[in-house]
Each structure stands twice: as C-alpha cells, then as structure tokens.
Chain A
Amino acid sequence: MAIAGALVIPVNRDDEKNLVVKLNLLPGVEVQKSGLRGIAVVLEAEDTETIKDISKQIEQWREVIGFELAYLNWEELSKGND
C-alpha cells in the first residue's frame, strides 16, 4: 500500500476548476483543496509503481505544468475499509 500527498500545478489559473473535476475522476485520487500555488491531492494505490502511473498521467495533461509529491509513504499498511 502506498499513500502520497501531492500538488498539481496548473499552467493557467483559469484551468483550475476543470482540473479539479478531472482529478476527482481518477481512481485513488482525492482532491483536498485548491490553493494559491496549486491543487492539493492525496493518492492511494497498491504500490508506489501505481502512484507513478497516476502521476505520470496527470503530468502529461495539457493543463498541467507540474506535479509535485509532498509526501510519500510505503510502509506496510492494510487497506481496511475506513
């Protein structure tokens, strides 16, 4: 199990609303807040490899200039149902 916190940085502030919608549609991604410097998200996946796939996908979106991890944890965590 891997959990990451990240910041998605839009090329243009005008794209922000659309980006939030797109991000929330991605499995394992939860938008936390949208701030001055970007959109804060939490990513949850089976392993860091899947986190990589999701981040790569987001990074390649036309509206995105940067994807920055803020936190990454890959301890043994069971998924549970909370």
Chain B
Amino acid sequence: MNITRRAFVKSAASAAAISMSGLVSGKAFADSAIQFHRAQCRFCGTGCTVLAGVKGGRVVSVKGDADSPINFGRLCMKGYQLAHIMDGKDRLTKPLVRQGDGSFKTVSWEQALDLVAEKFAKLIESEGPDSVAWYGSGQNTTQEAFAANKLFKGIIGTANVEGNPRLCMASAVGGYLNTFGADEPAGGYDDFEKADCYFIIGSNIAENHPMLFRRVIDRKSAYPERIKVIVADPRYTPSARYADLHLKFKPGYDMHLLNSMAQVIVEEGMVDEEHLGYCSFRKGLKTAGEFTDLAAFKLFLADYAPEKVADQVGVPAADIRKAARWYGQQGRTALSLWCMGINQRTKGVQLNCQIHNLHLLTGKIGKPGSDSLSLTGQPNACGGTREQGGLTHLLPGHRAVANAKHRQQIAGIWGLPEDRLPKKPTGPAINMFMRLAEKKIKAIWINTTNPGQSLPEVGKYRKAMQEAFTVVSDVYPGRTTELASVILPSAMWVEKEGIMGQTDRRSQFISKAVEPPADAKSDFWQIREVSSRIAKKLGVKTDFRVLDPENGNVKTTRSVYGLGFKTEKEAWDEYRLCTRGTDVDLWGATYEKLKAHSGGVQWPCPSTDFKNRGSAKRFISKAYAEEHFANTRTAYKTGYVTLYDQHMQDKGLDGPVNYYGAHPFHAGSKGKAIIRVMAAGLSFEMSDELYPYVLNTGRVIEHWHTGTMTMRVRMLKEMNPGAYVELSPEDAGKLKVDNGDMLKIVSRRGEIVLPAWVTKRAQPGMVFVPWFDENKLINLLTISDPKSWSGAGEPDYKVCAVKLSKA
C-alpha cells in the first residue's frame, strides 16, 4: 500500500514539474487521499494561488494552483513551506498576561478580552479616544483590517489607526496620487506576457517576488533578442545577474538616473505626442508648483544629459542612453517594476513620480504590455490597508478622514453616528510610536506585525512598547511579544477564512482548511469580541444592516453593541458596499465569485455577473480599447477581465483616456495625468567622512520579513540561519576582512557586529544587511527622524551612513 502510495506521489511530483516546464501539461493526478483547499500564499505581494492539501486534519501537501493566472501552478521555496509555518513547536496557543515580576501567566479568553476592553475603555473615557491606538499589518485579512478600522475610527472615534504598510508602500501611494490622482496601478500581471522591456528598479524581484520574475524569464526565454531586461540597483543581485543591462548606480543617485533617462527620451524624440494630450506638466509635488509644458521640461532636463551626470550617478553615459532607448522606442512596450528600494526613501514619492513620468512621456501605459506597476511587499497591503483605509488619514474605499462627505458615507454604512468618526488624521506610523514614547498614547493593539524588530531606530520604540499597555496578537513569541502586557494567540493562514488584495488590484479568497492549535483564535474573532465589550462600556450602539448581497438592499437591521457583522462574510459584504461606486469598486467581488475563480477578481468590478472578474486596465474607455486592441477581454480558465475600466463605464466618465482621480493632490488636472518636474535630490543621510559607507537593508529569498514564521521552518532556517553583512571585495581588502570575519557596523544611532560575506553583490562604499534575524537587530542602526521620511511619512531604510571596522 505504502509502495503504491510512494509511486503515486512520485508521479504527481513529476506531473507537476513537467506541467511547469511548459511541455505537455502534466496529467492531472486526482489524489483522493488528500483534500485540497484553495488559498493564497500569505508571504509576498505576488499573491500566488496555492492549494493546501489536508489529510487527517493537517496540511500535508502544498502545490501551486495550475488554474491561477498569477503563478500558473508554480510556487517559490517559501510558498512550498507554507504548511510548516503553522507547525513551530512554540506556537502561541493560550492568552497570556504579564505579571508584576515580568513573567507571563496563562489566562482564559474571557479574562484576556475583559482586561483589554476594560483598559482601553477606561483610557478612552478618562483621557480621550486618542490615548489608544491600533497598529496593524499588510498581512491582516481585509475583514480583520475592516473590523479594526470600524472599531477604532467608528466606535472609539480615533484616527490612531496605522499599519506596517506605511513603512513599505506609502511612497508608492503618494506617487500614484500625485501623478494619476488615484492610488494603485493602471495595469497588472497580464502585462508581463506582452512586455518588450522590463525596467526593474529598486527591486530584487528574483528573490522577493520570485514568481513574477519567472514570468520575466519565460518571456525572455521565448524571445531572447526582442525582450530586454534592465535592472537598476546599487547591488549586483540575482535579478541584476539575469539582466541584459545592469545600471549599478551609486546609492542615493537614482533621481539623477531617472531624470537622465527622461532627458534621452525627450531629446531623441521618443515622446508619444498623442498620449501627451492626456497629460499635463507641473512643477514639484501636490499643488503648490505651477503648470508648465514639454518645452520647459526639455530645458529643465538639459542638465541631466547622461554625459553630464554619468560620473555622479556612477553609470556610463552610454548605458543610460541604451536603457532609455530600449525602454522608450516607439512600437515597443515597457513594464516598470519597483519595490522598497524606491519606496523606503526620503525622496520616495518623487522617485515614484519619476517612474510614472517615463511611462506618460512615451505613452507606455494603458496598453497591453505597458504599465507602471509598483510591486507590493505584503500579501494584503493593497487590500487591507490602501483600499480598505487602514491608515490614519483614510476611510474605506479610497476615502479620506478629513472629507466630511466621506465620513458621512462611511458612518451611514457602518451604522454609527457621523460625529463619532475623527475629523482629521493624527500621524503616520512612526509618529504614532513617538507619541507612545511621549505617553500621549497609553495603550496600543499590535496585530500581525513585529514592530519590536522592524521599526527603524527600533531601540527608541521598544522601551515605549514595554511601558505602555501593549496588546500583541501573534502566532509565535518574538521581539514584540516580549514587550507585551497581553499576548493573544492567533490563528494563521488556512486556519482561518479571509480575503487578501495584492499588487495588481486583485482580491483573492483564502479558505479555512484546518483548525488552529489549542486556544488560538482568528484575529477577526478577537477584534469582534473586544469591539462588543468596548462598545458596551462606552455605550455605543451600531445599527447593523444585513444586506442582500446581490443588490445591496437592507434585509433587516439589528442594533448591537459592537461591529454588527458576526462573520467574515458579513464583514466583506459591508466592505463591498463601502467600495460601491468608487474607483476601487469591489461590489462585483461577491463571496461566490471569489471562492470560485482561482486568482480572484480585479477591481474596478462593479458587475455581479458571475463571469466578470473585473478590469485588467484602468483609465481607458471601452471605445478606446475597441479602437486600439484586437480584444477587449482576457479570458481566464474561468471568467474574464476587461481591457477597459469598468468604473469609467459605470460612471459614464468622459474621454478615451481619463485619469479621473479626484484626489486633492491632483487638483486642477482636469482628468489628465501629471508629469511632475522635479530636480534630483539625495537621501537624508548620505555617507561622509565620519561615516563613509552606506548601509542598505532588505529581505532575502528564504525569509519573510522578521523571520517569525520562516525561521521556524527548518529547511529555510538552515538555508539562511542568521544575519550577515555583504561587502565588496574592494572594501574587504581595505578593511583586511575575510569571509566569516566579524565586522562592526556603527551608525549615528547604534551598532552591531555581524559576520562578513565578501561578495560582488555589494559595490564599494556600500554594505547590505538583511533584517530577518531577531537576534541581530539591524534596525537599531536605521533612521526614524521625521526629516528622513518621504512625503508620505515613510522612513528611509535604504540609505543611512555607517562606519565599519574589524571586530
């Protein structure tokens, strides 16, 4: 029996590998011993669709979903370890409360929930709603994030709602708002198979979004001459190794590089005149600068001619020209991809706008194969935070806290009095932790994230978390739970049900496949239970409306203490209603559709028609798509997406191309995109005589963020067991350091000693340290000074000055 089973498993393994190789599709092996449940990988923002195989109440097999239009059945090494992240021996399974002597005592859920509610309610009553706060995550499900938002902004009435996406994607939001007046990209993953030039900047996509990089490799393998891959990165990463052209610029000089590429595009006539009709030019960010024109932009760019900036940037002028030509030639398509190397920067918003500038100038947007696609770090930073409104200034459906009409709309849907909602934002994430340190915030609930390890200049804020009343919901003990007053044990991944939204405006369903261990509970349940207790203590009732999921009509109303919705599905239906009619329209993303379609739904999706899975392109009308493209739909294995913007069609918005964003940053644009004219600037802290090296931090392929989960997977831990410092052979020679020697790294804020890895990945003058290792807190050295933040409140994790010595 076992022998047969082994042969069967080998055949299944072979079929899976063969189907991925692009040969005959592997014969589908129906494995009756294992029941597969569809979910989404809970690691990176790619959002690969996964099938979790369950036998005997445990996940025993994991495979990519071949029906998925995201990963086509593939997964990277982290994805394959998903099941093991649930099995760590030290899973948190009981609520814990810190005692006077610093130890933790196990308590019942009733006791833990009562304690949290009582502490929060007392503070709210005695010191006001802004004395408490929520710090969530791009790894919460959308329902969890929506529930927390309703609790804090609706029931409690504070705008102290922030999350870790502030630290990774806020600059990308700023870039989209300044350029298009609407957040999130115009295109999506379908563009990978139509792109001729991939311009990858500030992203080690090969390690951090491996399955998207596979789509690049596939395309390049099929058309090796035609397809060009350009990687702009100060490090010689695996992505750079694969590229046709590596622009190894000096850390901090990417604004110069991007303006230089724009200069070549304009000077050499690669501008798309027709598309410029849909654009305007404006000096600087937001609305302070005046509108200008192409002629003035051309004059401005003259100082950035490649021959003038090459030495400064550290890239030969000929390479800058080559990159601009490969990207800009008319008749070819271009897809830009970037991530934290651009966002986690003092000039993060400007850099984002500069990338959009190149697309707008060349008209390489709104067409199959062309897009300006910001890669998301986390699996639900887009869905749970950007779209749902999980930051201090936002409300669900791309609405603003400061907008009275938006508050009225959301209060109406939430069934709460309008005047309970805060009227203005408080402050971005680091500001919130600063207020915690100043004891203006006295209680904080940290959920699905590990700020005790991940905040910049973390030493400052660890003390603040320890001194406040800090509630931490997590799955494993770590550098934040050790600071907590109360620890709530959470369910994870397929131990709970939820929806997550990824990089390309896509939402996917995660099925619950197994039970969480012992007393661990879903975060949704935790928030719901705390909400009803706090609401009762504050005497706040919610008029919850049970909706008809098809037409949104109210079926019944119940007046309750708490959130009102009891299940994840009810929460999702209320959230769908919040998005209805907005640019992030998810009204058509019914539970039924999300469960049925592998790869989910892409908003805007106003239609509840079962086959309609939303819009692959934004900002272009149906008429424009019909005139320019052979097809106006892309068919998937089940259903289809349109190559036009269903929100535009639904709202009757004018024009073949309409950058309709109504955001205040976009005021005066008259539906046109804005090419931002911006002088190149540097990072807040560049290297100098005292601190002559630049420290860059980031992720590695084996580990996810702070390693809470992946360091519990033996295979991943052994592949990459601890932090190290990458430095160039040239610098190693100067410092007389060999591989494995200990190196002391000192910044103006802290120091650390790490083993050296001498590698050509690093360029002279720069070192790189990953941040997954909880025993080596590299964030003791990084910067949290508000002056280092991008215009969107995001700190600079990528460039800070350090000195090095052999330890």
Q: Check B22–A35 contact: CB distance below 8 A.
A: yes
A68-B76 contact given A33-B18, A75-B61, A77-B6, CB 8 Å threshold: yes
Binds A, one of B9-17, B102-110, B453-461: B9-17
Cβ contacts A47-82/B at 8 Å (1 or 0 each)? 011011001100000000111111111111111111
Interface size on A, residues (CB 8 A): 46
Q: Check A65–B221 contact: CB distance below 8 A.
A: no
**B440 is an interface residue with CB less than 8 A from chain A:** no
A17 to chain B, nearest CB (A): 15
CA distance A75 to B466 in the complex (A): 43
Q: Tally of A-B residue pairs with Cβ under 8 A?
A: 145
Q: Check B3–A78 contact: CB distance below 8 A.
A: yes
**B759 is an interface residue with CB less than 8 A from chain A:** no
Tell me whether chain B's interface is mostly helix, strand or loop, or mixed.
helix
**B715 is an interface residue with CB less than 8 A from chain A:** yes
Interface residue tally on B, bucketed by range: 35 or more
Binds A, one of B153-161, B210-218, B658-666: B210-218
Q: Name the one of A13, A40, A75, A82 contacting B7, with C-beta atoms under 8 angstroms.
A: A82
Q: Check A5–B12 contact: CB distance below 8 A.
A: yes
**A19 is an interface residue with CB less than 8 A from chain B:** no
Q: Check B17–A72 contact: CB distance below 8 A.
A: no
What residues of B have a CB within 8 angstroms of the CB of A70 in the complex?
13, 16-17, 19-20, 63-64, 73-75
What residues of A have a CB within 8 angstroms of the CB of B680 in the complex?
none
Q: Check A42–B17 contact: CB distance below 8 A.
A: yes
A68-B6 contact given A5-B15, A73-B12, CB 8 Å threshold: no
What residues of A have a CB within 8 angstroms of the CB of B213 in the complex?
66
CA distance A75 to B714 in the complex (A): 16
B88 to chain A, nearest CB (A): 15
Name which residue of chain A comes closest to B241, CB basis: A65
Name which residue of chain B comes closest to A80, CB basis: B3
**A24 is an interface residue with CB less than 8 A from chain B:** no
What residues of A have a CB within 8 angstroms of the CB of B14 in the complex?
5, 32, 40, 42
B648 to chain A, nearest CB (A): 36
What residues of B have a CB within 8 angstroms of the CB of A71 in the complex?
12-13, 16-17, 61, 63
A33 to chain B, nearest CB (A): 5
**B242 is an interface residue with CB less than 8 A from chain A:** yes
What residues of A have a CB within 8 angstroms of the CB of B13 in the complex?
3-5, 42-43, 70-73
**B634 is an interface residue with CB less than 8 A from chain A:** no
CA distance A49 to B81 in the complex (A): 12
Q: Check A32–B17 contact: CB distance below 8 A.
A: yes
What residues of A have a CB within 8 angstroms of the CB of B6 in the complex?
1, 3, 77-80, 82
Q: Name the one of A36, A42, A52, A78 contacting B2, with C-beta atoms under 8 angstroms.
A: A78
A8 to chain B, nearest CB (A): 9
**B21 is an interface residue with CB less than 8 A from chain A:** yes
Tell me whether chain A's interface is mostly helix, strand or loop, or mixed.
strand
Which of B6, B217, B242, B719 gathers the greatest number of chain A CB atoms within 10 Å? B6
What residues of A have a CB within 8 angstroms of the CB of B22 in the complex?
35-38
Q: Check A66–B210 contact: CB distance below 8 A.
A: yes
Q: Check B7–A7 contact: CB distance below 8 A.
A: no
Interface residues of B in 120-177 (CB under 8 A from A): none
Interface residues of B in 695-747 (CB under 8 A from A): 714-715, 718-719
Q: Check B21–A34 contact: CB distance below 8 A.
A: yes
Q: Check B60–A82 contact: CB distance below 8 A.
A: no
Which of B6, B15, B17, B23 gathers the greatest number of chain A CB atoms within 10 Å? B17
What residues of B have a CB within 8 angstroms of the CB of A66 in the complex?
206, 210, 213-214, 217
B493 to chain A, nearest CB (A): 16
Interface residues of B in 272-324 (CB under 8 A from A): none
Name which residue of chain A comes closest to B5, CB basis: A77
**B222 is an interface residue with CB less than 8 A from chain A:** yes
What residues of A have a CB within 8 angstroms of the CB of B217 in the complex?
9, 37, 65-66
Q: Check B214–A75 contact: CB distance below 8 A.
A: no
CA distance A79 to B9 in the complex (A): 12
**A11 is an interface residue with CB less than 8 A from chain B:** yes
Interface residues of B in 1-47 (CB under 8 A from A): 2-3, 5-7, 9-10, 12-23
Question: Chain A: residues with CB nearer than 8 A to chain B?
Answer: 1, 3-7, 9, 11, 13, 32-44, 48-49, 51-52, 55-56, 65-82
Nearest first, the 4 A-B pairs at minimum CB distance are: A35-B21, A5-B13, A5-B17, A36-B22
A–B Cβ pairs within 8 angstroms, 12 of them: A1-B6, A3-B10, A34-B21, A36-B218, A37-B217, A48-B714, A68-B214, A69-B76, A71-B17, A72-B80, A75-B61, A78-B3
